[in-house]
Amino acid sequence: MDQAFLTVINELDTEVAVSWVSQRCYQCLYQQLGVVPAVTSPGQPSSQEFTVSTQHEITLQLNSTAVNLDLCTVPFHFGERGNYSLWVKNLNTSVVNCSIVTDADPVNSYIPILVAFLVFAGLGLMSALLRAIVGLDLVRGVLFRIGGTFETERLINSELGSPGRVVTPVTDNILPPPPSPSKRLRSLDTFRGISLVIMVFVNYGGGRYWFFRHESWNGLSVADLVFPWFVFIMGTSIALSINSLLRSGSRRTSLLKKVVWRSLQLFIIGVIIINPHYCLGPLSWDNLRIPGVLQRLSWSYLVVACLDLLVARGHVDILPTVSDNAWWSSCIDVLLYWPAWLFVLLLEVLWLCLTFLLPVPGCPTGYLGPGGIGDMGMHANCTGGAAGLVDRWLLGENHIYQTPSTRVIYDTHVPYDPEGVLGSINSILMAFLGLQAGKIIIHYRDLHSSIISRFLIWGLFLGVISAVLTKCSTDQGFIPVNKNLWSLSYVTTLACFAFVLLVLVYYSVDVKNWWSGAPFFYPGMNSILVYVGHKVFEDYFPFRWRMVNTQSHAEHLTQNLVAVCCWVLISYVLYRKKIFWKI
């Protein structure tokens, strides 16, 4: 899978060393592919077969082993399962020609994902048409006459399986629900469900497509989007939950105890599910991985929820609009909570100081690179710079992730954890930006245009910061977008996307009622259960089964989509039975 066959045919009277480097590998050393012998006799070229990666364009470099001379450099994007020949010929005594010939056409590996998209798009269109038909007055009348008024009304109000707009609140699966029912924004659960469904799909393999895998270092793929969005919407839910609980008369001290206890529960569950063989016996401390997704969620939740408990107001009236004469009216939803903002900004200063000023033995101060063969191999053991050092110092080398994504392209050999300690500072910032979105909803409730405009302003503001930090490039900026580091530009970029996506979902679900949020709404209502369940049962049927051809994208994609659909169906059944797992 993701490989092609290459035959290098050598017509030279010297051995040829073949090396390669991926175009996605920034300032990398060439890696040797193999050596092709010299011709044994005139007219009898020698050849050697190799397998090459098809995920990205690669550059082949051919050198003469006799005089260590560069013969030619050939950039090429090979197709999956294609057969290719690279001919190395002498045009004259001083010029060598290298040309690639396609012997067998590659397969189109993207057809399965196109078919899957068309199938799900068709199902969505059929569902929308069916809802529209059921909503017609004529059809409603027929249904009333056939099934009786009460039963038919129940069917229509269920929106073919979609819940009504007013339900008993379930507060983010972390804080308990307020004692009295209130209107719940379906867009928030829908947003959370979108993030969760993509996260589950990616964790199950994403059909083994490269763009559903995490970037090896700098840059973004689909897999790099969802976890920050989940952190973001958690912050939004914290704001709404705490506001609702304070309005209902709950004491801050009792809420603080619950926040600490639930954070501890999240952390413990996270440690259990990310370590292998926990079902076979006690976990061993010798190689227990400590950081992880739920651990980072617990830490971010603990800090942001505590901050909000300190500054949140129990009774908040709708703020004056920006048209008010007061100069501070347009910023009052920030100014009211300035102590929390000050604390988060100080945390960010701490991240910047540690990242760029902390001395790292054997590495440049402020190094943000992947190590390995990156930076021409000069800093092979410096993966992550200060972030890697802090994790090894605080947690120990055996208690962090042993096979990071940098090994794929950058050939690193140093353990590095993408959910490490230093990056958790920026995950707090991500959750706090989500908290700010919640504050906007609280203060401008029912003023849809004000909420949408402020979301868009925040998205633009964060987008400008990202453009400055990255210089609108993948690797050339002051602070590149990097999921492994959870860099500042990564947070601002993903928060920008989150505000824009939240606008689209909020407008279509809660403002215009164009979309009920299904099917993402259901896993969004049971997010912790779905996340923990998909990790615990990922190796069991029907989420995984023995495949006929493990090298087929179509089979992997089918298996992963079936697994995701199973969790959506499970969450829907639990929703209908009003079962919600809260910790």
| pLDDT score of 1 | 84
Which H or E run includes 76? strand 69-76
Q: Is the model's pLDDT at 316 over the cut of 50?
A: yes
Highest mean pLDDT among 2-16, 23-37, 211-225, 491-505: 491-505
What CATH number is attached to the domain comprising 46? 2.60.40
What DSSP string runs through 161-229?
Answer: T---S------TTTSPPPSS-----HHHHHHHHHHHHHHHHHHTTGGG-GGGS--SSBS--GGGTHHHH
Co-location of 429 and 291 in the same domain:
yes
The mean pLDDT of 164-192, rounded to a whole number, is 57
- Top pLDDT among 269 and 583 is at 269
What DSSP string runs through 422-456?
Answer: HHHHHHHHHHHHHHHHHHHHHHTTT-HHHHHHHHH
Answer whether 0.75 is exceeded by the pTM: yes
**Could you tell me which residues come within 8 angstroms of residue 100 by beta carbon, excluding any fewer than 6 positions away?**
74, 76, 84, 85, 86, 87
Say which range, 144-158, 263-277, 479-493, 552-566, has the weakest mean pLDDT. 144-158
What DSSP string runs through 487-503?
Answer: -HHHHHHHHHHHHHHHH
Q: Which pair of tokens denotes residue 297?
A: 């969620």
Residue type, 538: E
Co-location of 426 and 487 in the same domain:
yes
Which H or E run includes 576? helix 553-576
Q: Is the model's pLDDT at 181 over the cut of 90?
A: no
Task: Tell me whether residue 409 is in a domain.
Answer: no
The mean pLDDT of 451-472, rounded to a whole number, is 96
Co-location of 143 and 80 in the same domain:
no
The mean pLDDT of 40-54, rounded to a whole number, is 88
Please provide the average confidence, as pLDDT, over all residues in the chain.
87
Sign of CA dihedral 116, 118, 122, 125: positive
Give residue 118's domain range: 111-157
The mean pLDDT of 459-488, rounded to a whole number, is 95
Domain boundary among 120, 141, 157: 157
Q: Starting at the edge strand that comes first in sequence, how are the strands of the sheet with 16-22 ordered?
A: 31-36, 16-22, 58-64, 69-76
Domain boundary among 64, 88, 104: 104
Q: How far apart are CA 436 and CA 456, in angstroms?
A: 13
| pLDDT score of 263 | 95
Task: Tell me whether residue 358 is in a domain.
Answer: no
Q: Is the model's pLDDT at 150 over the cut of 70?
A: no
Domain boundary among 104, 136, 171: 104
User: At how many degrees (to 10) do helices 252-274 and 527-536 cross?
Assistant: 20
The overall longest dimension of the chain from CA atoms, in Å, is: 93
The mean pLDDT of 290-298, rounded to a whole number, is 94
pLDDT tier, 368 (very low <50, low <70, confident <90, very high otherwise): very high
Q: Which pair of tokens denotes residue 526?
A: 């049971």
| pLDDT score of 206 | 92
Task: Tell me whether residue 296 is in a domain.
Answer: yes
Co-location of 68 and 119 in the same domain:
no
Task: Tell me whether residue 26 is in a domain.
Answer: yes
Q: How far apart are CA 398 and CA 395, in angstroms?
A: 8
pLDDT tier, 428 (very low <50, low <70, confident <90, very high otherwise): very high
The mean pLDDT of 408-427, rounded to a whole number, is 94
Residue type, 383: T
Q: Is the model's pLDDT at 138 over the cut of 80?
A: no
Q: How far apart are CA 573 and CA 583, in angstroms?
A: 20
The mean pLDDT of 466-475, rounded to a whole number, is 94
Q: Which of 233, 245, 171 is nearest to 433 (CA)?
A: 233
3-class SS of residue 558: helix
Given the DSSP bridges, would you call strands 31-36 and 69-76 parallel, antiparallel or unpaired? unpaired
Residues marked as catalytic? 214
- Top pLDDT among 90 and 224 is at 224
Co-location of 532 and 504 in the same domain:
yes
**Could you tell me which residues come within 8 angstroms of residue 357 by beta carbon, excluding any fewer than 6 positions away?**
365, 366
Going from the C-alpha of 495 to that of each of 169, 233, 426, 427, 528, the distances in angstroms are: 26, 10, 11, 11, 22
Q: Can you name the residues that pair with 35 across neighbouring β-strands?
A: 17
- Do 16 and 32 contact (CB within 8 A), yes or no? no
Co-location of 471 and 545 in the same domain:
yes
Q: Which of 443, 126, 486 is nearest to 297 (CA)?
A: 486
User: Which DSSP category does 64 fall into?
Assistant: E
pLDDT tier, 166 (very low <50, low <70, confident <90, very high otherwise): very low
The mean pLDDT of 522-535, rounded to a whole number, is 93
Co-location of 444 and 558 in the same domain:
yes
Q: How far apart are CA 524 and CA 113, in angstroms?
A: 24
Task: Tell me whether residue 375 is in a domain.
Answer: no
State how many domains the chain has.
3
Task: Tell me whether residue 239 is in a domain.
Answer: yes
The mean pLDDT of 119-141, rounded to a whole number, is 82
Co-location of 270 and 304 in the same domain:
yes
Co-location of 83 and 115 in the same domain:
no
Task: Tell me whether residue 85 is in a domain.
Answer: yes
Extract the runs of DSSP E, i.e. beta strands, from 247-342: none
pLDDT tier, 172 (very low <50, low <70, confident <90, very high otherwise): very low
**Could you tell me which residues come within 8 angstroms of residue 247 by beta carbon, excluding any fewer than 6 positions away?**
178, 314, 315
Task: Tell me whether residue 262 is in a domain.
Answer: yes
Co-location of 193 and 265 in the same domain:
yes
The mean pLDDT of 120-131, rounded to a whole number, is 88
3-class SS of residue 69: strand
Co-location of 151 and 282 in the same domain:
no
Co-location of 66 and 153 in the same domain:
no
The mean pLDDT of 160-174, rounded to a whole number, is 40
